[in-house]
Amino acid sequence: MQGLIKDLNGLLSPAQVLSQPEEMLAYANDATHYFKSRIPDAVVLPHTTDEVSKVMQYAFTKEIPVTPRGAGSGLAGGCTPVNGGIVMDLKRLNHIQEVDRNNMTARVEAGVVLKRFQDQLEPLKLFYPPDPQSASVCTIGGNVATRAGGPRGVKYGTTGNYVTGLEVVLPDGSIINPGGKFVKQSVGYDITRLMTGSEGTLGVITGVNLRLLPLPEANRTIVVVCETLEQAAEIVAEIIARGAIPGMIEFLIKLAITVMNNFFSPPLPTDGEGYLFMYFDGTESQVEYEAKVVTGICHDMKAKEVRRIDDPKAAQAYWTARANVYPLIQTIFQRATTEDITVPRNKLPDLVRTVQTIAAEEGVMIGLAGHAGDGNMHPSVLFSQVTPEILAKAEVAIDRLTRAGLELGGTISGEHGIGIHKAKYLAWELGDIQIELMKRIKQAFDPKNIMNPGKIWMEGGGDHA
């Protein structure tokens, strides 16, 4: 281990190499803390792509595992170093290198924090739509590596829809630049798309070219209180069926509203079971028309209350509270294991009913929230205490939830990625042939298997604690 630290100090400055036990503990997990992992042997803090390349050349020669890491805000164990080795913290690659207003594109380094990037675009009347709930801390490189989503996915799509090019350091230290700042390309295999969502298993993303949109001129927020969870899901399905496309449709349950009520005034009534937060953006006339149509749908379907929030500051309070639901819930429960199931939008009522059935039959508490507009729901198993008996029940419940999502024509992950958390379910969705093909692709990129090993498909380690 001392030899490793000495070698890394020779490649970077000593201030860019961490090795103290308390420092290593901070890098042993992402936002999940319930996977078995190995403490990394060292953490490096490169400032440039060339420094990333030097470390990768060294790791390749010595066959040392490397785990790329952004903000560590992931929910699938993706940047957990299950085989030890080097964790590569990319947050110092944090420059917004170019915003090309005429071309509606930008180029950023991988460590740029998403919210900071979005805030710098707004005065230029530009808009980068992807908005994971961790936007205030997550990095764009991490978003690209996991193909992250967020509430705006219903109207605007996810991170993968905005990546036009990358800078990538391969396992042997080679640097490639697939794609570019253009929005169309038909040249061979699409390596840009292949790297997007690769979760650090093929190379280290150090730079990203992004497509931008004009900033919408107007917006409105509407909050809907529903008698039941099924009614809330049915309203979402009806809105989509009638061709209305809000910028966001968020689904929440009474428990979430109870903790969120501290963020806004007047508080929402807690006599409903299901709640919808909806956001409309576009031109002033477009926003008014869509809000009127959706309000009419909600009234037609007998929602308990439809609340229009016209004051921008008040509306922002609702969305800030929504973004903080997960950490708020964690202050109440000892653990929250969050799933990431996406189904066709017309199947949302079926999924909601299934979640309730599984919770009752397995004797576990399952919270429910999600980006209902694109069918991406987050059932969360909530633990008042963690015991072997409760863990066993939770595992059965999660297995059943995952199977149910697939049976409804869905997928095991809409935005969090596979990491460790979903690896056991990969074959349920893809089958052995596709997994074998993915392994062959990894072998071509990473012949020594040093890039984030033990992720996506399991190769030992990383079980639930």
pLDDT value of residue 1: 67
Instruction: List Cβ neighbours of 284 (8 Å cut-off, separation of 6 or more).
Output: 217, 218
Give the Cα separation of 335 and 342 in Å (integer).
Answer: 22
Give the Cα separation of 301 and 162 in Å (integer).
Answer: 36
pLDDT value of residue 461: 39
pLDDT value of residue 328: 84
Number of residues assigned to the chain: 465
Give the Cα separation of 397 and 391 in Å (integer).
Answer: 10
Instruction: List Cβ neighbours of 458 (8 Å cut-off, separation of 6 or more).
Output: 420, 423, 424
How many CB atoms are closer than 10 A to CB 312? 11
8 Å CB contact between 414 and 375: yes
Give the Cα separation of 115 and 134 in Å (integer).
Answer: 9
Domains of the chain, first to last: 96-214 (3.30.465.10), 218-325 (3.30.70.3450), 333-407 (3.30.70.2740)
Structure tokens at 315: 């509306």
Instruction: List Cβ neighbours of 63 (8 Å cut-off, separation of 6 or more).
Output: 448, 450
Structure tokens at 76: 């699938």
Backbone dihedral angles phi then psi of residue 237, each to the nearest 5 degrees = -60, -40
How many CB atoms are closer than 10 A to CB 279? 25
pLDDT value of residue 330: 82
Characterize 190-222 residue by residue with b for buried, 16 or more Cβ atoms within 10 angstroms of its Cβ, and e for exposed: ebbeebbbbbbbbbbbbbbbbbbeeebeebbbb
Give the Cα separation of 328 and 33 in Å (integer).
Answer: 16
8 Å CB contact between 77 and 32: yes
How many CB atoms are closer than 10 A to CB 306? 17
pLDDT tens by residue, the chain, 465 residues: 679 999 999 999 999 999 999 999 999 999 887 777 789 999 999 999 999 999 999 999 999 999 999 999 999 999 999 999 999 999 999 999 999 999 999 999 999 999 999 999 999 999 999 999 999 999 999 999 999 999 999 999 999 999 999 999 999 999 999 999 998 899 999 999 999 999 999 999 999 999 999 999 999 999 999 999 999 999 999 999 998 889 999 999 999 999 899 888 888 999 999 999 999 999 999 999 999 999 999 999 999 999 999 999 999 999 999 988 888 888 889 999 999 999 999 999 999 999 999 999 999 999 999 999 999 999 999 999 999 999 999 999 999 999 999 999 999 999 999 999 999 999 999 999 999 999 999 999 999 999 999 999 976 433 444
H helix runs in 265-347, sequence order: 284-300, 312-323, 325-332
Quick one: CA dihedral 457, 68, 138, 5, positive or negative? positive
The single residue listed with the structure tokens 């490639």 is: 176
Residue type, position 38, single letter: R
Give the Cα separation of 173 and 195 in Å (integer).
Answer: 16
Q: Are strands 248-253 and 126-127 parallel, antiparallel or unpaired?
A: unpaired
Of 57, 152, 166, give the one whose Cα is nearest residue 110: 166
pLDDT value of residue 397: 97
How many CB atoms are closer than 10 A to CB 334? 11
8 Å CB contact between 153 and 371: yes
Q: Give the SS3 label for residue 30.
A: coil
8 Å CB contact between 312 and 259: no
Give the Cα separation of 400 and 406 in Å (integer).
Answer: 10
